[in-house]
Structure 1
């Protein structure tokens, strides 16, 4: 299973350089980048990365404060131009502390360290479920959608299926909701549902399909209907006809 990684740094060039250095590491999957602490707290909550590359000195919230505010703490590799924070970094069990400008060799040492820690640590039940999900996605990559290509001003724009929070019917289109912005895709809900991995997506209404990874909570309302709250705050109500699949999903939690 690839490690889901998030890059947090207020300097654009620093983020771009780290992205370039990480390209050879096929065991990592970059799920996003953040330019400040506030953005980091929100994206970490939604994306739930396994590993964050975290700058320390940022204009709004410093890296240590970001890490302290996290309820579920991912592995952290600090990236900074200052060596004065190293002791504090290792006090909170940081995987590594990279001094800018670090090179590919130094980054490789840090990545190998996190992979070894990940390998030897006993996985939680959630990690096992995610691993099983990703294995199924890779196994059925030819069968299920992994990306959706949208024509945009004469060129194709691709959306990674993992970044889709939910699909909603919108007339002759399907609205694709991501944490960035919604996109319209000319297709039907039935066609899109047939191409989605049922291990990852749950249809709760003829006009709504949810990415299970983004479900925050689910509660029973009445009359065989359920209310789903997603990690971005969206609340969606199911229809009675989809109760069996919903009950089956709840039984796996």
Structure 2
């Protein structure tokens, strides 16, 4: 679900790009070469020497060494042989502890692995023997995929900066002051999953915590951004971004399951608000 605020920040981002003709500069692609045959590794390394946007960060002669270097160096791109004596290429990817998955060009003498290679989202499949043109076609394809990923990442970062700026200059409530066991601290309003009225107090439900503050539900509702929070019950406000699912339970009532596992039931009198939410997602 894209909020109004996020949509506005996206428009601001694309306006920024258009106004300044902004195109992200292609960075060096950190590349790892993995093949148990020395001559095969040497050929790939020689071809990569002529490519200015490639930085070779290492070469590996077996699967265990490959797994260790992938985990340690987190390459952007790997040239990966499939048939190796200890671990094959698929086992290397399966066993590696990755914070991000590199782009993969498989290099092998066996064509029957092709379908399985694309199951693990390989960007290309070089069948030995291959000529230079085929090699550089695969490399350029990988480069385009990496550039698209980088542009998407940069876009997300700029959108977050714009959202943070707009949030700081908004009249909406941005944080709640919590007093608990003699200490006072702030909770970001965007970390609140739902809010429950209990007399003259509110129970603030976070992902794994709950806090009480002295305030009425009507008072806090007037200060919240309606693009994020809405009321589903006389005593309950829910953050839209944390809604996992909504199930109709009959009698104009809906069960909201939140991403932290909490379940909240709407009341019949708020059926219209729930319906509008469901139509918007």
The structure having more radius of gyration, on CA atoms, is 2
Question: Please, what TM-score do these two structures have when normalized by structure 2?
Answer: 0.45
Structure having the higher helix fraction is: 2
Question: Please, what TM-score do these two structures have when normalized by structure 1?
Answer: 0.49
